[in-house]
Structure 1
Amino acid sequence: MTRHDPALSTPAQSALDALRANVAVPFERARAMPKAVYTSPEFAEAEARHIFAAEWLCAGRADALPNPGDYLTMQIAGEPVIILRDREGVLRGMSNVCRHRMSTLLEGRGNVRSIVCPYHAWTYNLDGSLRGAPAMARNEGFCKDDVTLPTVRVADWLGWIMVTLNPDAPNPADQLAGVERLVGHLPMRDYREVFREEFRWNTNWKVLAENFMESYHLPVCHAGTIGGASDLNQMECPEGEAAFNYHWIIKNDLVPLALAHPSNTVLQGDDRRITWLLAIYPALLVTLTPGYFWYLCLTPDGPGAVNVLFGGGMSADWCADPKADQHFAAVKALLDDVNVEDKGCVERVWKGLCAGMSGPGSLSHLERPNYDFARYIAGRMP
């Protein structure tokens, strides 16, 4: 029986009903998600409430904040958030809104000794407590010790900064234990970030997520870059788990950094050359190889735009290689070219979703992760 949430608008509920009908069939008869799941503003608003405000999201790598006072900012379902390293070296999350007249406090990334409001100079310590507030002595109801920035849950999971507004969300180490079982032979915690960038594309966030989840498009979309490095006949797309899906590609030696470092004696056989593609719900997408990694963190901006955090780096043994910079520069140039190709693909899909005569087609066996993702979306909505 279809359940209806009275809090959902009629367009959002109609899109959700269509999605649930879509994933009720076996994968062997599955089709792409209904158009309204991508294009409906009401469905996008419901996703913000029931997915992005409730789940663990990624703010990038923990080594991006190495020193006390290092901070970054992000938006979670419209909520401005600060993530920073406090004086004891602990990662903290807190509201990025002043407790006085509600100005936002910090922007972008940087380092601070304290958090000073740019409006009236109320000043907060790195633990969020109020240090000082000018010209407040005559307000008899004001007590500095009673004021603190609301906290936001933060966890360091295998070197990833995970953040949630949900006080009841299971710890990511428990929720994502399957990831560690799957790729624990690759010491993700020890990989080091080399770059971190941001951009905005004109497509729905799920279109970009699905593009990452399937490698069916590689030979065509990426014919000019990585399309020849993968054999679709050797690709495995197993059923995913509740919190993530995955597939893997056995790579050739065209990109040396994608392979285990020659000094690495721990990895054996195909483990030295397998590239893992991990889609950690809802919006962390990680390509992990024995030598390097890159990732995308997605933040929707309405139904038709997505803000993307794009980063990457190398394993510890490749970081120590004398030619590490040279190798990674070649990989970064390749990734930039791949991004140009992907941008064209996902923005064309968005245009097609908005067309009157378009409709979802049947899925290939290589798109099993997309089906699992659709089931996740349907299961998280009310």
Structure 2
Amino acid sequence: MAKDHIDAVEALRGNTSLPFEQARAMPPEVYTSDAFTEQELEKIFRKEWFCVGRVDALARSGDYVTCDLAGQPIAVVRDAAGDLRAFSNVCLHRMSTLLHGRGNTKSIVCPYHAWTYNLDGSLRGAPAMSQNQGFCKDNYKLPKIRCEEWLGWVFVTLNPDSAPVAEQLAEVEGLIEDYDMAGYVESFYETHVWDTNWKVLAENFMESYHLPVCHAGTIGGMSKLEEVVCPEGRPAFNFHTFFKDGSLPIAQAHKDNDRLKGDRRRTSFLLVIYPSLMITLTPGYFWYLSLHPNGPGQVRMGFGGGMARDYAAEPEAQQHFTALRALLEDVNVEDRGCTEKVYRGLCSGLSRPGHLSHLERPNYDFAHYLINRIDAA
């Protein structure tokens, strides 16, 4: 085992052995070690559920989304019968990747030699193969990958033994049942690559301590840190909450929403579904990040969002959301600057982790999740 991995794991063990009242930020080695990143891929991303986005992107027969999960290209497709299927996105001939990005297709055609697959992954045909006596197209079918839908999200996993998503996240479902998250409608999705470690961006999402400073040019002035509530995290997720004021109407419950009562009508949840799905859920809109490491120093990010069903059909609400999306783009610019600066600092020889604020409770819980998975057999 590489020495930098051993040092990083030992440093993280020491870090997480302290009670929260004495806790510090995670050690630099946890972010910068190549060997530690390989262990994250092996023990977390190859074993946990990974979110590929919202089911809205897979509404029609032939709709597909793709991702690379711990080195395995995956395609998720709505088949002709209306079922969601996930399978290896690698041709069974000379092993080219098949589908790319997102879109809709009637069949899956390899861009290299035009081997063609049905939407259920079975091979439909292959040109110029009649002279190979061992070839039989019925023997070819793209390997299946587990795929599940939960509250409007689509997850895949390479682990045949992973407990169902709904079982792992039953407490989340109870926590936000009155928000009807499955009914939110996605209106945009983008992909980005930032020059920072995936955990830096995850931690940036899961604490509001940075808002007044990092986001001084956008939402910082609206941040009331005294109203932020950071409960103790759970094995599969952490969260914190705060109130949204009336400056953005769609941040509060729609007038016809009779599910949310009292302060819940203006309460926003920042949910972190381990390992890497980050959801801002307000009574009227949502946005999210789905993160995957691209080595220690880069993160691949899916970024999407939309509105609650109550607002989705209202032209005025659409105008508010358009303004919100423009604001989120500016917020992303600020977050990118801050998180890339953090990673540069982590790579320096004199970097040292400081004590955590009470507003960084989710970061502490995230560190415990990481060491529990890395230490697992």
TM-score for both structures, normalised by structure 2: 0.98
Whether the 8 Å contact between 1:39 and 1:303 is mirrored in structure 2 is yes
1:148 aligns to 2:134 (yes or no): no
Whichever residue aligns with residue 91 of structure 2, its letter is C
Quote how far apart the aligned CAs of 1:349 are. Answer: 0.2
Equivalent residue in structure 1 for 2:51, among 58, 62, 69: 58
1:235 counterpart residue number: 228
Instruction: Report deviation, 1:10.
Output: 2.4
Checking the alignment, whether the CA contact within 8 Å between 1:296 and 1:311 is kept in structure 2 is yes
**Once the 2 structures are TM-superposed, how far is the Cα of residue 222 of structure 1 from its aligned partner?**
1.1
SS of equivalent residue, structure 2 residue 229: coil
SS in 2 for 1:302: coil
Task: State the partner residue of 2:346.
Answer: 353
Q: Which range moves more in the overlay, 12-21 or 293-302?
A: 12-21
CA distance in 2, matches of 1:167, 1:266: 37
Counterpart check, 1:89 vs 2:82: yes
Q: What CA distance in whole angstroms lies between the structure 2 residues aligned with 1:132 and 1:176?
A: 41
The one-letter code matched in structure 1 to 2:326 is A
User: Which residue pairs with 1:324 in the alignment?
Assistant: 317
* SS of aligned partner of 1:323: helix
User: In structure 2, how many angstroms separate the alpha carbons of the residues matched to 1:82 and 1:241?
Assistant: 30
Matched-pair contact (CA < 8 Å) for 1:230–1:250: no
For residues 111 and 244 of structure 2, what CA distance do their matches in structure 1 show? 50
Q: What is the CA deviation profile of residues 19-39 of structure 1, one whole-angstrom value per residue up to 9, with x for unaligned ones?
A: 011101111110110101000
**Structure 2: distance between partners of 1:135 and 1:10:** 51
In structure 1, what residue type is equivalent to 2:368?
A: R
Distance 2:8 2:315 in 1: 54
TM-score, scaled to structure 1: 0.97
Q: Give unpaired runs (5+ residues) of structure 1.
A: 1-7
Matched with 1:165 is 158
Q: 1:312 aligns with which of 302, 305, 321?
A: 305
Preserved contact between residue 51 and residue 277 of structure 2 (Cα < 8 Å):
yes
Distance 1:375 1:367 in 2: 13
State the alpha-carbon separation in 2 of the partners of residues 10 and 212 from structure 1: 30
Could you list the structure 1 runs, at least 4 aligned residues long, displaced by more than 4 angstroms after superposition. none
1:44 aligned onto 2:21: no
Residue number in structure 2 paired with 1:273: 266
Q: What secondary structure, in the 3-state scheme, does the structure 1 residue paired with 2:178 have?
A: coil
Where does residue 200 of structure 2 map in the other structure?
Answer: 207
Q: How many residues align?
A: 375
String of CA shifts for 1:275-308, please: whole Å, max 9, x gaps. Answer: 1000000010000000000000001110000111
* Structure 2: runs of 5 or more not aligned: none
Equivalent residue number for residue 381 of structure 1 = 374
Residue 364 of structure 2 corresponds to: 371
Alignment check: 8 A CA contact 2:241 2:270 kept: yes
2:68 to 71, 75, 80: 75
- Residue 194 of structure 1 corresponds to 187
Q: CA deviation at 1:140?
A: 1.9
AA aligned to 2:16 is V
Q: Is the 8 A contact 1:229 1:254 kept in 2?
A: no
**Contact persistence 1:50–1:381 (CA under 8 A):** yes
Amino acid at match of 1:333: A
> d(CA) in 2 for partners of 1:169 and 1:26?
30
Percentage of pairs with the same residue: 61
Deviations 1:43-96 (A, max 9, x none): 111111111111001001001111101111100001111011101111110101
How far is the alpha carbon of 1:263 from its aligned partner?
Answer: 2.1
Per-residue deviation, 1:320: 2.4
Q: How big is the shift at 1:325?
A: 1.6
Partner of residue 18, structure 1: 11
Which moved further from structure 2: 128-137 or 202-211?
A: 128-137
| Partner in structure 2 of residue 261 of structure 1 | 254
Give, as a single letter, the amino acid of the residue that structure 2 aligns with 1:300.
Answer: P
Q: Contact 1:69 / 1:87 at 8 angstroms: preserved in 2? A: yes
CA RMSD of aligned residues (A): 0.9
Return the alpha-carbon distance in structure 1 between the equivalents of residues 211 and 66 of structure 2.
33
Q: CA deviation at 1:272?
A: 0.5
Q: 2:32–2:347: 8 Å Cα contact kept in structure 1?
A: yes
Q: Is the 8 A contact 2:179 2:259 kept in 1?
A: no
Picking from 132, 139, 142, the partner of 2:125 is 132
Kindly indicate whether residue 276 of structure 2 is the aligned counterpart of residue 283 of structure 1.
yes
Q: Is the 8 A contact 1:260 1:291 kept in 2?
A: yes
